[in-house]
């Protein structure tokens, strides 16, 4: 990605420069416990958190996961023992505190043009009529962007990429904070990540690729998506993958190189599908899949095993009839 490679180094929710944790505690009106003189480098969600990041937690079920994660700073709704080298920011509503930090460092900026002048478009790239390109988008060389495509802010498109009509790159994550003790049960979590599409990728018509919540959704080099494919937030797709029509992949799942997902395959969240795995049409993936094998069914299992099961299921009426006739 000749003109965009430098933009891959940091997510947009890395702060422009390290921020003193004391300032953040003051900004969200939090009690600060632990490393009070430290500096935070960014804000992240638990599946992609890194050293120096802030993360939030508001349910005891996930306290240990956050406290033992790579995060250096935890926004939490209860004062607990602080692990060495970390800091706790104790507030009544961690989710609201998270939103306040996001709105400060990554505020919504309305578009004022169909193709924002801050965006970079490489040599030989064709942009069709009625394409929308948001601010700070980067598109490489020799791409073809067909009519009615939307590429939202901060997304990165590599070289030789084709995007068919009506696709949306960088839509918000389907990610909500849920509590039943308030009038609006589901509160939107701001999407601060990007979509990064590597070189030689083809995106079919009517596809939607959600931006990461606080990190990036990524499509690897040479991968091909058919029409009406949905890629959820923070999904990482490897190189040379092939997804047929109506495939849907839920958030934070990792699809390794060379994976083939045939039509209407559904993949649950936070899973890993191993290198060169093949999942046959209309299968449902609810657990990690080993690479180099072919899978089928719901829940997806090795195809030959699943076919044998189906063959036996078809014989149940015959077997039942034989049992009854002997009675």
Active site residues per annotation: 233
Nearest to 300, CA basis, from 284, 278, 316 = 284
Query: How far are the Cα atoms of 43, 67, 94, 95 from residue 102, in angstroms, in the given order?
Result: 8, 21, 12, 11
Please state, in angstroms and rounded to a whole number, the distance separating the CA atoms of residues 154 and 4: 11
Of 36, 38, 39, which is closest to residue 18 (Cα–Cα)?
39
Cβ atoms of 195 and 217 closer than 8 Å? yes
- Residues 247 and 157: their CA atoms lie apart, in Å, by 21
Distance CA 274, CA 257 (A): 8
The DSSP string of 208-255 is EEEPPSSSEEEE-TT-EE-TT-EE-TT-EE-TT-EE-TT-EE-TT-EE
């Amino acid at each position: 990605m000749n003109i965009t490679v430098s933009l891959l180094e940091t997510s947009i929710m890395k702060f422009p420069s390290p921020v003193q944790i004391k300032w953040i505690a003051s900004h969200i009106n939090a009690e600060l416990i632990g490393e009070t003189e430290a500096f935070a480098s960014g804000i992240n969600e638990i599946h992609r958190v890194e050293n120096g990041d802030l993360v939030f937690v508001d349910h005891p079920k996930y306290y240990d996961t956050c406290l033992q994660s790579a995060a250096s700073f935890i926004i939490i709704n209860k004062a607990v023992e602080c692990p060495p080298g970390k800091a706790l920011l104790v507030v009544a509503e961690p989710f609201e505190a998270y939103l306040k930090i996001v709105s400060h460092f990554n505020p919504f900026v309305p578009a004022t043009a169909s193709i924002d002048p801050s965006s970079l478009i490489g040599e030989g790239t064709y942009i069709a009529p009625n394409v929308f390109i948001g601010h700070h988008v980067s598109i490489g060389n020799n791409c073809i962007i067909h009519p009615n495509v939307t590429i939202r802010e901060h997304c990165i498109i590599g070289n030789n990429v084709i995007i068919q009509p009506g696709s949306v790159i960088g839509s918000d994550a389907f990610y909500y904070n849920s509590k039943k003790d308030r009038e609006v049960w589901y509160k939107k979590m701001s999407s601060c990540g990007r979509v990064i599409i590597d070189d030689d990728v083809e995106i079919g018509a009517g596809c939607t690729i959600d931006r990461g919540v606080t990190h990036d959704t990524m499509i690897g080099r040479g991968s091909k998506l058919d029409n009406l494919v949905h890629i959820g937030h923070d999904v990482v797709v490897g190189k040379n993958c092939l997804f047929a029509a109506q495939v849907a992949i839920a958030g934070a799942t990792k699809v390794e190189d060379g994976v083939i997902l045939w039509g209407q395959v559904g993949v649950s969240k936070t899973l890993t599908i191993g290198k060169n795995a093949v999942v046959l049409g209309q299968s449902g993936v609810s657990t990690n899949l080993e690479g180099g094998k072919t899978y089928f069914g719901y829940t997806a299992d090795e195809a030959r095993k699943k076919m044998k099961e189906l063959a036996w299921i078809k014989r149940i009426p015959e077997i039942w009839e034989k049992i009854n006739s002997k009675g």
